[in-house]
Amino acid sequence: MSDPLLTTPDIAVTGSMLAGEKITPCFEGKVGSSLTLYEAVERALCSNPQTIGAWLNIKAQAAQEGLAKGALLPVISGSVQASRSHAYSSVGEYEQFASDSRTAVRSEALSLSWVLFDFGAKRARAESAQQLLMAAIQNHQASLLLVFAATAKDYYLALAAKSSVDSAREIQTATKTSLDAAEARYKNGIAPISDVLQAQTQYAQSAFNLARAEGELISSQGLLAVDMGLSPEAQFVLSVDDEKLEGTAFVKSVSLLLEQAKLSHPAIAAAQANLAAAKASKYAVIAGDLPILSLTGGATRTRQPVNYGPEIGQPLSTTHDRYIGLQIEIPLFSGFSSFYKAKSAMVAEDIQEQALRAAEQQVAQNVWSSYQTFRTNTENLQNTKVILNSARLQFNAAQERYKLGVTTILELTNAQSTLSNSSQQRIRALAEWRTARLQLASHVGVLGMWAIK
């Protein structure tokens, strides 16, 4: 559909998130053999109802801006009218006084109306509509950030669940090895039956943990599939997690991040645009009570037969009428409606001022909280790596010592539990660090596809 006033911005559903990409925007169809975070986020940005709804809101608000801009142009209207009439009259028995006339009338009219001066009321309405369009664009960008961060979080949770399944299988293999060692020592009369029972308990516990981890993986993949606009039953395989950490060059001091968020976060930009729209709307309401100067004009042409008697007949008569002039409308009294409209507009401006303050406070709170979370997770990431390495060495040593008969089954089972807990702790720490990194970028307002390449 054409846009004569060029009000609709050329913005894709994914905004500028995929701008400049060499690949074809928006994956379609089934997921490939290996699902990357990039593909998951792209699918979500393309299909999420929140982003699509915000994009459609841009289209709707652009149409409203077109209406406001169109009001600045002259209004020209035309009309064509054609009619036929039949008049018959009689006077009793005197036929000589009877009359019977038929008339066909055709008229064309053209009128012009153009507001020349209204103290800027219409331009203020156009400015308000333009600011609301800017707010819609920024709200769309904010929805992209939310969907991006939420999808990435669900992806990392699914990846952590996958790692938990791999870790649970590894622990189950280790407990099976310990059980075999305990049974061998029992058959040789070296260990009591209690060692076998403890080893069996550990093996059963590992099987329980594996089943639970597999269930969590299925659940997390279903949530991720819904994020991508797929059925929860969709089947896909997540990319292998090699524990390679992403870049953190965007992380600066918290004071710099707070200043950057004020300048770049779309929620603040949207609130600023809404405030500007409210101010323009208030001016339009006030100016609406002032005089309006308009240019008016028109032209009409009427053609109809005129009866000049039986000798002349009914020749066709054509009448032309043209006019042009200036019209001044002066509002005098409207039942105090103008007073309350102005009062409502001023309150609406105050509301938007508070909405801007609330947006700034919320963004600052989110940046501060996510920054502290990221710092904590960064420290814990290194700690969990050290803990996991120590737990693995401890378990290997305990396993060898038990095979040699220089330690008890209790030390071995404790080492197995420590290794299992340390592995899960490491998996959670990786997922939390990656999620906190993207949440921080999202809250600052700089999150983009660069963060996951």
Q: What is the pLDDT of residue 90?
A: 78
- Domain contains 248: yes
Lowest mean pLDDT among 11-20, 96-105, 213-222: 96-105
What tokens were used for 191?
A: 């260990």
- Domain contains 25: no
Per-residue pLDDT, averaged over 381-406, amounts to 91
What are the CA-CA distances from residue 140 to residues 147, 264, 359 (Å)? 11, 14, 16
Nearby residues of 268 by Cβ (< 8 Å), 6 or more positions away: 261, 262, 356, 359, 360, 363, 445
- Domain contains 108: no
- Domain contains 31: no
Whether residue 152 contacts residue 423, with contact meaning beta carbons closer than 8 Å, is answered with: no
- pLDDT category of residue 429 using cuts at 50, 70 and 90: very high
- Domain contains 94: no
Place of tokens 């770049």: 264
- Domain contains 235: yes
Query: Domain total for the chain?
Result: 1
Q: What is the CA radius of gyration of the chain?
A: 39
Q: Is the pLDDT reported for residue 310 higher than 70?
A: no
Lowest mean pLDDT among 150-159, 227-236, 311-320: 311-320
Lowest mean pLDDT among 74-83, 92-101, 413-422: 92-101
Q: For 8, phi and psi rounded to 5 degrees?
A: -85, 115
Q: What is the pLDDT of residue 67?
A: 94
Q: Is the pLDDT reported for residue 130 higher than 80?
A: yes
The boundaries of the domain holding residue 125 are 37-73+118-290+331-452
- Domain contains 240: yes
Q: What is the pLDDT of residue 21?
A: 55
Region of residue 35 (left: phi > 0; alpha: psi -120 to 50; beta: else): beta
- pLDDT category of residue 383 using cuts at 50, 70 and 90: very high
- Domain contains 162: yes
Q: Is the pLDDT reported for residue 1 higher than 80?
A: no
Q: What is the CATH classification number for the domain harbouring 277? A: 1.20.1600.10
Indicate the pTM of the whole model. Answer: 0.86
Per-residue pLDDT, averaged over 10-20, amounts to 81
Amino acid at position 127, single letter: E
CA distance 8 to 274: 18
Q: What is the pLDDT of residue 191?
A: 84
Q: Is the pLDDT reported for residue 313 higher than 90?
A: no
What are the CA-CA distances from residue 254 to residues 129, 374, 375 (Å)? 36, 11, 11
Q: Is the pLDDT reported for residue 19 higher than 70?
A: no
CA distance 32 to 24: 15
pLDDT digits (tens, 9 = 90+) for 163-190: 999 999 999 998 999 899 899 988 988 8
